[in-house]
Structure 1
Amino acid sequence: MKLRDLAYYRTGGRCQALYEPKNIEDLSRIVQALHATRQRYFVLGGGTNSLVLDEDWPGAVIVFRRMKKIEVRGTSLYVEAGADNTAVSQAALEAKLEGVAWMNRLPGQIGGTVRMNARCYGGEISQVTREVHTVLPDGSIRVYTAADGIFRGYKDTLFMDNGAIVAAAVLQLEEGVRGSIETRMKFYEQDRMNKGQFHYPTCGCVFKNDYSVGVPSGMLLDKAGAHKLSRPEVALNPQHANFVYNKGASSRDILELTLAMRDLVYQEYGVWLEYEMEILGELPADLKARVQDKKPARFQESKLEPLRALFQKKQNPGGG
């Protein structure tokens, strides 16, 4: 099986071994064996925030297609890593629980959502996560709580550094009114559809927002004219310049386009965009240095200030 059949972005070559654990204990045994043999691996999950490279991967891949359990426990949910975000929000709706309506139609699985501290529509997974059940790189099982400092900020968690695999999470929610929850879920779904987020495979936002800039990356890309970089096989979403459509592209095609997008914003505004998209696999030598390049911020304030004002106006359309 090619990984493109599993990845949301529809790219990826073959891997040496594919593992589908049934539960956290099974995942622990798999990781212990990989650790003992020093075999390289990566966790694909839903692949919604990732670009899997088309080159064959000489290692293992772990996917959570068999770990999708969702249990209602009073006002909390116990959710395995492979549960889709939409399924989590739907389960909470059925139980009349408030706190995860914003996850409706958010592509991906809860394991990745927790690992990257996802947020949208004013919600953030750190706000409701009470426990995170993980498997460490040596295969041992550890349960973290929010008090362990696992959530460090926007798209920043301990798990992104220590190699722990999120196997399950306990989400602490609140009693709510079904009608109110359902209305917001429908709004979020319609908003995503209106923005064309499901027209073609994407990885969501390619670049992180740098809050020190005061302008979201999508606006920077749009105002810098990044849409002109689109090609027939790989193109920017016309309504959201930080979303890149795969219309029949290779992973190299997508990477080349995103590198050009980053360079364009740096030339225009002096802002160096950092990837939010995870690149999984082994980068070809000629691309590795370019992807890992880092340039100092050189904010072009005269150009950024009007964009900040425009962004604030959009955030507060009724403001005086």
Structure 2
Amino acid sequence: MDIGLSLLDRTRTRVGETDAQAVAHTVERARRAEALGYDRFWVAEHHGVPGVAGSAPAVLLAVLTGVTSRIRLGSAGVMLPHHQPLVVAEQFATLAAVAPGRIDLGVGRSPGFTAPVRRALRQAGTDFAADLGELRAHLEGAAEITAHPRPAAAVPLFVLATGQGLQVAAELGLPVVVGGPLLRDPEEPLDRYRQAFRPSAQAPQPWVGISLDVLVADTAAQARALALPEAWAMAQARTTGTFPPLQPAGPMTAVQQRYADETLAAAVTGTPGQVAEQLHDLLARTDAAELVASSSTHDRGALAESDAALAELVSGAATPARG
């Protein structure tokens, strides 16, 4: 497959483990991703969520610069409404000074998960387009004040986008990473993004990455079983309001089963050949330049095997299944 390949690790917690163990696993997974030939390793920002220990992307990326040497490192993403653009620019300029040419900054506009989290964050900005423009100006050295340290080259900026975010990214000439519900019917919104795109110094042409769960195993049943813990967590979040640590799926109500089935339907799972076929179809519909696999499961060993199988598949070892 002629596509970039990256991993998005949200530092998911597991039942019976500490948050520190989840962070240590993210560090180890980044090392492994580099050894497997992945192009990029993304980390995320969540606050007050029991199932996610990843809350400070810039800090975690600083750790990852010390345990890797080649792979690009980025955020998917920093939630810009929670921060002052200058501070984000300074953080990522510092990362770029430590690991020149390897740092990417992905930003999103998601609010805090709950009202108490939003109050605790004291959200800094409400105009995403304005904050994004200011952030880019700081990164490019074009703002009213100069952010330090000055990186040797501007840190690439990506927008985690759905709906309005796609429009903002097109107007600013920025690449996008899309996922979630948008991938159910991506053609029209991505066409609008490409048609409205205004070329910029960073991106002379539109650029799209797609993010979704991708799990590969020896059989379709095994791969689906790997996707169940995340689907179970999503079902619990939708029905209880709490996104829990990963654990083997338990008994579900009819409503929870419906939500779990929706999550499973949005994932790409199967044998290498089956996954190749699904990805070929998705890439044809999106014309994406990069696949960002956001896969997670309770069994860390099985996740490592899936990551390795996906890397091998995208490098051209597998062909789409037929029949």
User: Do the structures match in fold with TM over 0.5?
Assistant: no
The structure in which a higher percent of residues are strand is 1
TM-score normalized by the length of structure 1: 0.34
Larger radius of gyration: 1
TM-score normalized by the length of structure 2: 0.34
